[in-house]
């Protein structure tokens, strides 16, 4: 796997749950395919999607873009959410063995591949006791040759540990960025020998420097809930201003600096920034060449964030 991956939530297009957006608004599929190709050409070999992203549309776009390249890339997708692909409405959740098998077959069909490299459980707070059956089903899918490995998208170390007991658990997908740090999650990943797939590494764009207090989003964009003027998102802008100089040192963009912070935070981490354009693909892939922040830069970031009351 490449040190930085491609997050494919943003290329799924609109989708809704109970009338609220769970996608990133309208997308251009041709640009999405071009972005995937640009990312691949720039050294990104890990592509992360989910069945619910765009109600199946993201998987279809990823499959189209990477057709014929399956041996050169690592493909991850997720299960647990149900939806109507035609209306793009989420319709519930299901993690029963029969449903997991059915969801896996549907993802394989949309992706156009014979095997999923990393199959991730998308219900982060699912009951621990019931999760034992989920793990057993995933091991059966490995044995059947449908998936190669699996993981849980959860921020709970106890849930991460439960999956990690199983031989083909390879990763956990965790919310992590320069502002939202969790030492307990890092300790769990490193002690269990799992990859930590970082969702939200750029805080849905807030750590790229593109937004300010007046930024708003359309009604079909999941980020329409953001309030940079009065909401919790204010802290992201405060943090970014504080660490801007450190992150952008050495010719890095703010996005690259945020990704390089994650590469330095733990050798387990693989950040998956959301990418929708060729320019974003090339910029984010550029973080690989810059490499992790230096130890003294990491220390400076921690000092600044502590002074802002964010540590």
Per-residue pLDDT of the chain (311 residues; tens, 9 = 90+): 999 999 999 999 999 999 999 999 999 999 999 999 999 999 999 999 999 999 999 999 999 999 999 999 999 999 999 999 999 999 999 999 999 999 999 999 999 999 999 999 999 999 999 999 999 999 999 999 999 999 999 999 999 999 999 999 999 999 999 999 999 999 999 999 999 999 999 999 999 999 999 999 999 999 999 999 999 999 999 999 999 999 999 999 999 999 999 999 999 999 999 999 999 999 999 999 999 999 999 999 999 999 999 99
Domains and CATH numbers, the chain: 6-307 (3.20.20.100)
Per-residue model confidence as pLDDT tens digits over 204-221? 999 999 999 999 999 999
DSSP readout, 22-40? -SBS---HHHHHHHHHHHH
- In angstroms, the CA 44 to CA 190 distance is 23
Task: Return the beta strands (E) in the chain as ranges.
Answer: 6-7, 16-17, 20-21, 46-48, 74-79, 81-84, 89-93, 116-121, 147-153, 169-175, 195-199, 269-271
pLDDT of residue 8: 98
pLDDT of residue 234: 93
pLDDT of residue 102: 98
- In angstroms, the CA 12 to CA 28 distance is 10
From residue 81, give the alpha-carbon distance in Å to each of 17, 87, 99: 11, 15, 10
Cβ-Cβ contacts under 8 Å for 8 (sequence gap 6 or more)? 36, 47, 48, 49, 53, 58, 61, 62, 274, 275
Q: 40, 149, 52, 61: which is closest to 112 by C-alpha? A: 61
pTM value is 0.97
Q: Tell me, what DSSP letter sits at residue 166? A: S
């Amino acid at each position: 796997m490449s040190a930085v991956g491609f997050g494919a939530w943003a290329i799924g297009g609109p989708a809704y749950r109970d009338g609220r957006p769970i996608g990133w608004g309208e997308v251009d599929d041709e640009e999405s395919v071009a972005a995937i190709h640009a990312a691949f050409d720039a050294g990104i070999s890990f592509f992360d999607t989910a069945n619910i992203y765009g109600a199946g549309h993201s998987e279809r776009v990823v499959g189209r873009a990477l057709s014929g390249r399956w041996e050169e890339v690592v493909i991850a997708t997720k299960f647990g959410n149900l939806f109507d692909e035609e209306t793009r409405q989420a319709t519930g959740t299901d993690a029963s063995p029969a449903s997991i098998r059915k969801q896996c077959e549907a993802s394989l069909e949309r992706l156009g591949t014979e095997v999923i490299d990393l199959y991730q459980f998308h219900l982060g707070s699912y009951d621990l006791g019931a999760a034992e059956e989920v793990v057993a089903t995933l091991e059966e899918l490995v044995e059947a040759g449908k998936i190669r490995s699996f993981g849980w998208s959860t921020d709970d170390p106890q849930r991460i540990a439960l999956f990690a007991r199983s031989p083909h658990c390879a990763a956990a997908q965790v919310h992590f960025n320069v502002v939202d740090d969790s030492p307990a999650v890092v300790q769990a990943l490193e002690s269990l020998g799992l990859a930590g797939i970082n969702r939200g590494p750029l805080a849905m764009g807030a750590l790229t420097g593109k937004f300010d207090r007046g930024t708003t989003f359309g009604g079909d964009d999941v980020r329409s809930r953001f309030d940079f003027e009065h909401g919790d998102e204010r802290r992201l802008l405060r943090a970014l201003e504080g660490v801007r100089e450190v992150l952008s040192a050495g010719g890095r963009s703010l996005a690259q600096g945020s990704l390089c912070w994650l590469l330095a935070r733990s050798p387990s981490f693989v950040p998956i920034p959301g990418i929708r354009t060729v320019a974003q693909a090339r910029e984010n892939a550029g973080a690989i060449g810059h490499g992790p922040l230096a130890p003294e830069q990491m220390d400076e970031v921690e000092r600044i964030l502590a002074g802002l009351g964010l540590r």
